[in-house]
Amino acid sequence: MPVKPHSKDFSLLFTEAAKRRKSSPLKPLLKYMLADPTLVSLGAGLPHPDTFPFIALTATVAEAGKSPVDATAARHDVSIAARAPSATTEGLERFLQYGNGRGVPSYAQFALEHTERVHSPLYDDWDVVVSAGNTDAFVKALMLFCQGGDSLIVDEWTYPAIIETVGPMDINLVPVQMDEEGMVPAALDALYENWRTAESGPAPRMAYMIPTAQNPTGATMSLQRKQAIYKIAQKHGLIIIEDDPYYYLQFGAYRPASGTADLEERYGDLPGVTSLIPSLLSLDTDGRVIRLDSFSKILAPGLRCGWITAPKYMTDKIQFHNETSVQQPAGVSQAIVSKLINEHWGHEGWERHLVQIQREYAVRRDRFVDLCHKHLKGMVEFTVPSAGMFLWFRVLLSEEMQSRPGVMQEVFDSMIANHVLLVPGHLFSPLGATPDVLSKPFVRAAFSYASLSDFETAVSRLARALAPFTGKVPDSC
């Protein structure tokens, strides 16, 4: 195997807080306990495991590749007993104990192996560190390179939690134009060409991107788009936060209802883990991509489990940050995830599970798009997403409505009056609720949560809600 180069050193760009951040003072002592099994520790104030009332933890799961509501799915018990470690997974008492901010080894090991297998980073000093999901991971990645007075590059429309995170930190959001593949490379480049340091503060050194099934637009970056963006990031010395919670929810082109009725055939080409669009991390030769992975959309959000991949000198700082905040994802969650994936499913079961999730979302996307074509003709425009859970509608307001002040608020009120909820576009604007943003005719629909049997009701209600604003007559339904 060719020798991989080292990442570039961006530590000079660390914020003052990141430069100062070091390990929580007692954590380094743990290494003595791990290194010497004969050592009697009167050091760390760990509670003795005999005080934990938990003897075993059992999670009952559906067989990999089947939905838990499928009556034909076999059920399996995944059990982790105290004081009974296996070859690959620690005993329960280990998961329930304090540890360092790197996570319990078997959980962290899965993240490491999986990242190697799927993304094969191109430099040799990459590492992973656990997170309590991408919300937690984002703020820790951000604080490595952004502090008050700095700027963060984001998409023209972006995930509201990011807007709310950086607002109180006095970090300036700089939106960049998007198209159906996400951020436009030429627009990112032009931003630097036009940047005037004196007026706007230091040029941004960090960009936040959601490359797959962007929230809210549903846009997925192609490999070519990622390559183009990466090149511009190199040109301007930009560090990228790759927030990719929908990475595994790629399901390809729209399969209309008129296509083959045989579901096995219709959904026989889902990407699994082997045919996904390569990530930004996998293109990263310099160590300038901080990738955030989350189990929220592929196991369950309440687990609060994820991991971060970046050069080790960055993941070390995030480990230290963990040690003064969440410490690590909850032990119960790490235990279930680790035992389930490492031991029970293995790589093969994990892949079958992901294909099943992809199929679940593909069926939803196809049905939702069928209904939009049926009921919303002439009322909305949208790009059919190839991943994720969102559809971004441009409402085709009639000429008369386009000039009406506050019309999008009226559209929202009309949806509520018709008993259907979508998210007003302005909530995703990094610029806030300016008059211009408020007048933009966008709304986001999530096809992830409603029951399939409620889809037609929802879309026909939406048609009724939009009719007076678009000058169209809804189909009776």
Binding test (CB under 6 A) with ligand PLP, winner from 106, 115, 220, 294:
294
Interaction of residue 245 with ligand PLP, rule CB under 6 A: yes
Q: Which is nearer to ligand PLP, 215 or 315 (CB)?
A: 215
> Interface with ligand PLP by CB under 6 A: which range of 116-124, 132-140, 185-193, 416-424?
132-140
408: left (phi > 0), else alpha (psi -120 to 50), else beta? alpha
**Token pair for 7:** 């990442």
Rounded Cα gap, residues 454 and 175, in angstroms: 36
Q: Which is nearer to ligand PLP, 288 or 304 (CB)?
A: 304
Site string for ligand PLP, 145-174 (x = CB under 6 A): --------------x---------------
Interaction of residue 306 with ligand PLP, rule CB under 6 A: yes
Rounded Cα gap, residues 9 and 287, in angstroms: 8
Q: Which is nearer to ligand PLP, 204 or 218 (CB)?
A: 218
**Token pair for 272:** 């699994």
The CB density around residue 136, as the number of other CB atoms within 10 Å, is 22
Interaction of residue 296 with ligand PLP, rule CB under 6 A: yes
Closest CA to 310 of 215, 178, 206, 182: 206
Q: Least distance to ligand PLP from the beta carbon of 132, Å? A: 7
**Token pair for 90:** 């620690």
Binding test (CB under 6 A) with ligand PLP, winner from 47, 301, 346, 378:
301
Closest CA to 279 of 246, 235, 306: 246
Q: Which is nearer to ligand PLP, 304 or 353 (CB)?
A: 304
Binding test (CB under 6 A) with ligand PLP, winner from 7, 106, 134, 217:
134
Q: Least distance to ligand PLP from the beta carbon of 303, Å? A: 9
DSSP track, 297-335: TTT-GGG--EEEEEEHHHHHHHHHHHHTTT-SS-HHHHH
Q: Least distance to ligand PLP from the beta carbon of 433, Å? A: 20
Size of interface with ligand PLP, in residues (CB under 6 A):
12
Binding test (CB under 6 A) with ligand PLP, winner from 65, 91, 99, 133:
133
Q: Which is nearer to ligand PLP, 315 or 418 (CB)?
A: 315
Name residue, tokens 């991390």.
281
> Interface with ligand PLP by CB under 6 A: which range of 115-123, 128-136, 342-350, 412-420?
128-136
In this structure, is the dihedral angle defined by the CA atoms of residues 326, 331, 336 and 340, taken in order, positive or negative?
positive
Q: Which is nearer to ligand PLP, 296 or 470 (CB)?
A: 296
Closest CA to 110 of 433, 341, 448, 369: 341
Q: Which is nearer to ligand PLP, 292 or 397 (CB)?
A: 292
Q: Give the list of residues 6+ apart from residue 162 with CB closer than 8 angstroms, or none.
A: 138, 154, 208
Q: Least distance to ligand PLP from the beta carbon of 313, Å? A: 24
Helix axes 223-236, 185-193, angle to 10 degrees: 10
Closest CA to 129 of 23, 212, 35, 285: 23
Which residues sit opposite 176 in a β-bridge? 155
Under 8 Å between Cβ of 168 and 453: no
Residues 427-446 that bind ligand PLP (CB under 6 A): none
Q: Least distance to ligand PLP from the beta carbon of 215, Å? A: 4
**Token pair for 365:** 């996307």
Q: Which is nearer to ligand PLP, 134 or 220 (CB)?
A: 134
Q: Least distance to ligand PLP from the beta carbon of 127, Å? A: 20
Rounded Cα gap, residues 341 and 346, in angstroms: 5
Q: Which is nearer to ligand PLP, 91 or 216 (CB)?
A: 216
The CB density around residue 346, as the number of other CB atoms within 10 Å, is 12
Q: Which is nearer to ligand PLP, 135 or 220 (CB)?
A: 135
Interaction of residue 250 with ligand PLP, rule CB under 6 A: no
Residues 194-223 that bind ligand PLP (CB under 6 A): 210, 215
Would you tell me which residues interact with ligand PLP (CB under 6 A)? 133-135, 159, 210, 215, 243, 245, 294, 296, 301, 306
